[in-house]
Every structure is written in C-alpha cells, then in structure tokens.
Structure 1
Amino acid sequence: MQEEWVMKNILLSIFLVGASVSSFAEAPFGLKVGMSLAEVKKVSGPAEMLEKNYYSFKNVPIPYKGFKDYLMVITPKSGLCKVLGFGNPITTSVYGDGVKAEFSTLKESLIKKYGKPVGDYDFLRAGSIWKNPNEWMMSLYREERILTAAWEPKEDNGVENIMLKARATGRSTGVITLSYELSNNEACLAEKESRDISGL
C-alpha cells in the first residue's frame, strides 16, 4: 500500500510540474493527439482518475514491456495532450546498476528514433552529502542526483517534447519514466488554467 501511495504521488508530481498538427495524428503507444477520454478508454480500457484531467491506464494500444502504467493528461476541449509511461519497479544495488542499465537501454532506443537528446544530464547537485559510489541510489532518492535526457523533435506525429528520467522509490528500488508532450499541450495547459468565475 505504501509503495502504491508513493507511486501515485510521484505520478502527480510529474504531471503537475509541468501551432499544432491535425487532430488524431499518430502519437506514441498507438494513441492519437487530441483523443477524447471516451476514445482513449475505447482502445485502452478503464481509467483511474488521479485528479481532474489526470488519468492512469494499465493498457495502451501499443505497450512497451518495461512500463506498468500509462499516465495521461486529457482535457475536455483539447483531448489527449501528454502521456507518460511509468516503468516496472527495478530492484537494484545501492550503486544503481539496474536503474542505470534500464535508463541506458531506453535512451539508446530513443536516440535511434529521434536523434541525440538536446539535454543529457547525469550529475550530483553541489553540496550533496550522498557523494560516495555506494550512495548513488540514496542521492537519487533524495532528488540530489539527476539522471535524465530530453528531446525536442517536433515530429509530424505530434510529439514535441520528450523527457526520460530515472527515479528512486527507495535505497534499492527505482523506476524509469518516459513522458511525451504533444503538439496541443499549450492549448491543454491554457484550458486547465482557466477558471469558472461565473459565481464571483
């Protein structure tokens, strides 16, 4: 139960931190830009609502075997504008070998498809006390270590921003997340930020 709670909080933090192609251009995981919630449910099955406009799915039309959940931002007007694959739990040593290996595998696959990343970060924040090799996972858990890569491909399929990130859920467990922002993401953000002021 605690692990599930941690995962859901990580998912929400990923999403809350936060000119288009035609609707329904093909996007990752066999989804389409601008799909409505009903359309996504039709091809992916039931959803769990994490928060307004934020949904978790167990399935997608074209899954990646290394992911266990798929998180999506779907608004009433703009539809699907962001999707994130949340990796299976990785049991690893305190040196982070398992996490590093899965991150590297995904990174190489993305490089083959989208080219070299525009941002490639692997460093420990200045002043961190978790600087020894056997504290690698602890530094990642404390969010004092960064292992991430980013692309800005501006693809015809609607993909505009990609973020691959390693995360720790404990001293010996971690996950990899892979998020895609789609071409309608700005419209989606504007829609989410609009407020109903009719009652004022």
Structure 2
Amino acid sequence: MKFTKALLLSLALSSAANAAGPFGLEMGMSLKDIGGEAKQIAPGKYSVSSVPKPHSLFDTYIVQVAPDVGLCYIKAIGKDISTSTYGVELKSSFYNLQGKLEKAYGSSKVTDMLLSGSIWNEPNDWMMGLIKKERYLFAIWDAESKATLKNNLAAIAMAAKPSSKSAGYLAVDYSFTNEEQCNSAIAAMEDDAL
C-alpha cells in the first residue's frame, strides 16, 4: 500500500490529537510531533502557536524539548482575567481551575500566603501584593500532595499571576518524569557552545 504525504500527515496529526497527556501532548514528543509554529525563546524552550488539544482558558503554550529526550515540560499561560483590587475574580478562576485539575489528577496542596512584613496586607491590596511578589497563590500536584499523576507526569503547578492592579492570569506548569534528563541535555548543548 502506498502512503501519500497527505495521508501520512493526516495520520501524524490524528496520532498527536489522540495523545492522552495535557493538551494532547506526551512526554518525549519532538517539536515536529507537537505541531504548530515553534519560536525558540530560550535554549530548549519554545513558544508554540498551537497544540493538538487547546483549552479556551489558555492562549500561550511553552514547551521544553531536548534532542534525543523530547518533550519534558509544558507551560500553559492563561488569558487575562479582569478583577478587582481584592482579586475576587482571579481567585475564583483559580479555585475553579483547581477543581477541574483535581478531578483529573487528584489532590493538590494550595498555598495562599502574604509574606511577613508586607505593607500590602489589607483585603483591597490583594492584587498589589501579587504585583510586588509579596503574596502568592499557587497549587501543587505531586507525590507529597498524594496526587494521582498519569501520562508520565511528575508534577503540576498552577499559580495566579498579576498583569496589572485590575487583571491577572493563571499559569499551569506540567513537568514530565524526564525533565531532569532534558535539563541535563540542554545544559550540555549550551556547554558545547563555550
């Protein structure tokens, strides 16, 4: 049976779209397997124009891919969420997404803290605390949180981030079990340039 280029491309895209990992991506995929236009933003890190299974909350995807190791990390960056200085809408979006991720990956550990000594300690200072990096709201899924990670995932982290006093976004990081190997391969590539 002869395979045309179009048929092979269709099979490859279908395979990527059926991948079981986050956004249709799996550990070890090459940039070519991931698809979309890739723009290098740092050694081994690429912003990709699309993923096989996009989610409407996110508009930017960053992947880390090393030669001979493949995909080891995904960062999904959310769209801006308009919010009050109290951060109500951003916090609501955070806990809504946390619930969805807990359905998929089990329990997480949430940290919502204001650093000791911060002057941004009034309720209406919530967003300014984020901007000044004196307040943090994040959740971690890993062995310690007793998460039920699958598809070769080692950890997931989600954080609320500020864009301004009246807007913020959510970012979710997915680390695969090959991330350390990936980081070593990228560091070795960088060292070869010296």
Identify the TM-score tier after normalising by the shorter chain: 0.7 to 0.9
Instruction: Summarize the Cα distance change of 1:126–1:196 in structure 2 as closer, same or farther, 3 Å threshold.
Output: closer
Question: Is 1:36 matched up with 2:27?
Answer: no
1-structure distance, mates of 2:123, 2:46: 37
- The equivalent residue for 1:129 is 119
1-structure distance, mates of 2:187, 2:193: 17
Q: Write the deviation string for residues 29-60 of structure 1: whole angstroms up to 9, x where unpaired.
A: 1012101112212xxx1122111211112321
Question: Is 1:94 matched up with 2:85?
Answer: yes
Q: Is the 8 A contact 2:31 2:38 kept in 1?
A: no
Larger Rg: 2
- The equivalent residue for 1:7 is none
- The equivalent residue for 2:20 is 26
2-structure distance, mates of 1:198, 1:29: 33
Aligned AA (1:32): E
Shift of 1:195: 5.1
Aligned AA (1:148): F
The size of the alignment, in residue pairs, is 172
Q: Is the 8 A contact 1:121 1:149 kept in 2?
A: yes
Aligned AA (2:163): T
Q: Which runs of 5+ in 1 are unaligned?
A: 1-24
Q: Write the deviation string for residues 158-191 of structure 1: whole angstroms up to 9, x where unpaired.
A: 1110001000021111110011001211110111
SS at the partner of 1:112?
helix
| Stretch moving more, 103-112 or 189-198 | 189-198
Q: Is the 8 A contact 2:107 2:148 kept in 1?
A: no
Shift of 1:95: 0.6
Matches within 5 A, 1:50-65: 50-65=41-56
Q: Write the deviation string for residues 116-166 of structure 1: whole angstroms up to 9, x where unpaired.
A: 11x310010101110111110000111110100000146341111000100
- The equivalent residue for 2:153 is 159
2-structure distance, mates of 1:126, 1:196: 39
* RMSD value, Cα: 1.8
Residue number among 140, 144, 155 corresponding to 2:134 in the alignment:
144
Taking structure 1 as the reference length, the TM-score comes to 0.80
Residue number among 62, 71, 78 corresponding to 2:69 in the alignment:
78
Residue number among 136, 159, 178 corresponding to 1:184 in the alignment:
178
Shift of 1:113: 1.6
Aligned identity (percent) is 36
